[in-house]
Amino acid sequence: MGVFVFSLLLMMPLAAPPAKIALGNCESTCGGVDIPYPFGTSYGCHRRGFRVTCDRTHRPPKLFLQSNGPEVLEISVRNATVRVRAVVWSFAAAGSNASDVVKVTVLPSNLRPYALSAARNALVVVGCGFQLQAAARPTTTTRTPFGSCAPSCPAAEPSGLRHGRRECDGVGCCQAPIPAGITSSFHVNLSWLDRNATAAPPPPSWVAPGARMVTVEKEWWSHRRNALAAKMSLLLSSARGADGLVIPAVLDWALNASSCAAAAKRSDFGCVSKNSECVNSTSSAAAGYVCRCNDGYDGNPYLPGGCQDPRMRLAPGVFLSMGVGIGMCLLLLVLAAIYAIKRLRARKVKKVREYFFKQNRGLLLQQLVDKDIAERMIFKREELEKATAKFDEARILGGGGHGTVYKGILLNQHVVAIKKSKFVIQKEIDEFINEVAILSQINHRNVVKLFGCCLRDRVYEFIPNGTLYAHLHVGGSQRSLPWKDRLRIAFEVADSLAYLHSAASISIVHRDTKTSNILLDDRLTAKVSDFGASRGIAVDQSSVTTGIQGTHGYMDPEYCYTARLTDKSDVYSYGVMLVELLTRKKPSMYMSPEGASLVVHFTMLLNQDKLYDILDEQVIEEGEDEV
């Protein structure tokens, strides 16, 4: 990693920053070929006529002009050219026809803004015993050809053919210039000098029979590195369709307009970059214009802000040592930054812990921070994945906006409920740490047991029978929990609240006591759950001031009014829960005909000795003897 960063940094000051070449989110490369605007692969990404197609059925993908044009090897904005794969034409050996007049299609005729570059291509013909004439139109091949050649063929192999010393000079190979203005096709007339070639001696062994012709990039063809013989045989295999051999040709392109003056008046004027200028196209393409970055700038003049000052970049070599120096400095800076960030993170984690440490009088998290407990309580993600079969949907027990609860089986065969949080908002993290801190303190048979946690997931004892709320508020005429069970559950909840308030090392106020936070196990034993909002109150304090938190209908009005939290707040909520157990009405929703809340209505009826008006039928029925 260090070495990687180091080498990156070394390169940074020396290489140009990667300038933007394409529009917005447009594809800017295909199979290693850059696609600068005005070219583009999709609608909105290219100028009219400059569509290219990236064919991903090839490995690596290949880029094509339009959809039916030649394969693109390189696009140059600065030269206004495209290098494409050249096509090699093949003419059969003499014998059958005295002469062939063929139309040579370089580009499909619908490719508008392109033309074969006259300056950068040549017509190259390889073979023996023929004369070839090329002209723009078929009728002019013999009268005004633009090129004509007839290679000679000595019986002995010419010297230098295999050693890169011989050019295409008329011995077995000849070349002719290409005129401006070939946008699609031209015509050739190839006539064999010896019509009876089959009877004549075969061509010398150093040249293959037949003729091959190509319009090819001059610079590439005349490059001395490859021997002429090698290039001649490359033409031969290319003509046979060998795909891997690439012979380049160069196309010019221009933007469509009669001149710069005319183009500049139009809304689609292409030279949009600052520091760019319009130039009448001198290429062989149909009248048009191209854009150039002004002297001292380079980049893509067809993009807003595309032309940039290259002096911003440091020349390699001259500034090499400077680059190395800057690179080292940057490396040190980055390393220092990484270190600093790590320290900061560690400090933040510590701060969060300290915060809760303070808030809960230190007693809670002190234990969590304790190594043994932490190690026992922290589950690895993989362990939880194993326990829930990768959080299988079939294992979902329930869930809501906050997260999903899964049933899981730990390695030690404990059946657990795993609460997987959805969000990482600070409030939830706070609640999470709070709950872990509080529950790790508590061991009571009527309080749900927390086995551990893992980042944002919590692992609880599995309570199979759902919430008291669900048991109580069953629909329609269905019978609800028997009164006996309701009474026992009330005792159990009271017992656990009393424990929380007084028996634990600090007084814990649950703060959200309600039937939907009471879980029931297989024997309908109550388990108090959801300690996300709970707070510890030190023994020497009777209350703390907090933000108001709780559930409407259950909340202690005094706490609501004063924001002073005491254990009495839980007692009030517990009382509301008792009313709920007696009446089977939902405290957060109930409204009497006079608009009173459940508690107000209940106490009113109690005072008027009319309690039977509101009691649950089932309670009246089952509890009669005791009441």
Give binding residues for ATP as ranges.
420
Task: From residue 616, give the alpha-carbon distance in Å to each of 199, 579, 580, 613, 619.
Answer: 119, 10, 9, 9, 5
Instruction: Closer to ligand NAG by CB, 283 or 441: give it.
Output: 283
**By CB under 6 A, is residue 101 in contact with ligand NAG?**
yes
Instruction: Closer to ligand NAG by CB, 199 or 394: give it.
Output: 199
Contacting range for ligand NAG; rule: CB under 6 A; set: 192-200, 336-344, 386-394, 558-566? 192-200
CB within 8 Å of 56: residues ≥ 6 apart: none
Q: Tell me the DSSP string of 43-66.
A: TTSS-TT-BEEEETTSSS-EEEET
Strand partners, 74: 83
**By CB under 6 A, is residue 281 in contact with ligand NAG?**
no
Bond prior to 316 in cis (omega within 30° of 0): no
Rounded to the nearest 10 degrees, the angle between the axes of helix 426-439 and helix 320-359 is 50
**At closest approach, how far in Å is the CB of 120 from ligand NAG?**
6
- Quick one: CA torsion of 330, 334, 339, 341, rounded to 10 degrees? 130
**By CB under 6 A, is residue 141 in contact with ligand NAG?**
yes
Instruction: Closer to ligand NAG by CB, 19 or 286: give it.
Output: 286
**By CB under 6 A, is residue 81 in contact with ligand NAG?**
yes
Instruction: Closer to ligand NAG by CB, 217 or 580: give it.
Output: 217
**By CB under 6 A, is residue 142 in contact with ligand NAG?**
yes
**By CB under 6 A, is residue 87 in contact with ligand NAG?**
no
Residues 289/309, Cβ–Cβ less than 8 Å: no
Instruction: Closer to ligand NAG by CB, 190 or 418: give it.
Output: 190
**By CB under 6 A, is residue 264 in contact with ligand NAG?**
no
d(CA 109, CA 186): 12
In the set 260, 368, 436, 509, which binds ligand NAG (CB under 6 A)? 260
d(CA 413, CA 407): 12
Two tokens at 570? 């839980």
Residues 391/385, Cβ–Cβ less than 8 Å: yes
**At closest approach, how far in Å is the CB of 79 from ligand NAG?**
4
Binding residues: 420
**At closest approach, how far in Å is the CB of 285 from ligand NAG?**
9
d(CA 551, CA 536): 19
Site string for ligand NAG, 456-495 (x = CB under 6 A): ----------------------------------------
d(CA 465, CA 470): 9
**At closest approach, how far in Å is the CB of 229 from ligand NAG?**
26
**By CB under 6 A, is residue 259 in contact with ligand NAG?**
yes
Instruction: Closer to ligand NAG by CB, 235 or 387: give it.
Output: 235
> How many CB atoms neighbour CB 327 within 10 A?
20
Alpha helices per DSSP H over 360-425: 363-369, 371-377, 381-387
Nearest to 84 by CA among 59, 107, 61: 107
Query: Residue written as tokens 């809340």?
Result: 597
**By CB under 6 A, is residue 256 in contact with ligand NAG?**
yes
**At closest approach, how far in Å is the CB of 345 from ligand NAG?**
47
- SS3 assignment, position 503: helix
In the set 29, 66, 90, 99, which binds ligand NAG (CB under 6 A)? 99
Looking at residue 378, what DSSP letter applies?
B
Alpha helices per DSSP H over 315-464: 320-359, 363-369, 371-377, 381-387, 426-439
**At closest approach, how far in Å is the CB of 256 from ligand NAG?**
4
Q: Is 616 a catalytic residue?
A: no
**By CB under 6 A, is residue 110 in contact with ligand NAG?**
no
Instruction: Closer to ligand NAG by CB, 100 or 385: give it.
Output: 100
**By CB under 6 A, is residue 189 in contact with ligand NAG?**
yes
Instruction: Closer to ligand NAG by CB, 188 or 565: give it.
Output: 188
In the set 12, 176, 286, 604, which binds ligand NAG (CB under 6 A)? 286
Residues 571/473, Cβ–Cβ less than 8 Å: no
Contacting range for ligand NAG; rule: CB under 6 A; set: 193-201, 227-235, 236-244, 513-521? 193-201
d(CA 598, CA 603): 9
**By CB under 6 A, is residue 96 in contact with ligand NAG?**
yes
Strand partners, 398: 405
Two tokens at 514? 């309600």
Per-position b or e across 403-428, b if 16+ CB within 10 A of its CB: bbbbbbebeeeeebbbbbbeeeeeeb
**By CB under 6 A, is residue 191 in contact with ligand NAG?**
yes
In the set 97, 502, 541, 603, which binds ligand NAG (CB under 6 A)? 97
**At closest approach, how far in Å is the CB of 107 from ligand NAG?**
14
In the set 195, 313, 402, 473, which binds ligand NAG (CB under 6 A)? 195
Given 252, 457, 512, 570, which residue is catalytic?
512
**By CB under 6 A, is residue 443 in contact with ligand NAG?**
no
Kind plus residue range of the DSSP H or E element containing 177: strand 173-177
Instruction: Closer to ligand NAG by CB, 148 or 366: give it.
Output: 148
Contacting range for ligand NAG; rule: CB under 6 A; set: 94-102, 335-343, 498-506, 546-554? 94-102
Region of 10 (left: φ > 0; alpha: ψ -120 to 50; beta: rest) is alpha
**By CB under 6 A, is residue 76 in contact with ligand NAG?**
yes
Residues designated as active site: 512
Residues that bind ligand NAG (CB under 6 A): 74, 76, 79, 81, 92, 96-97, 99-101, 131, 141-142, 189, 191, 195-196, 199, 256-257, 259-261, 280, 286
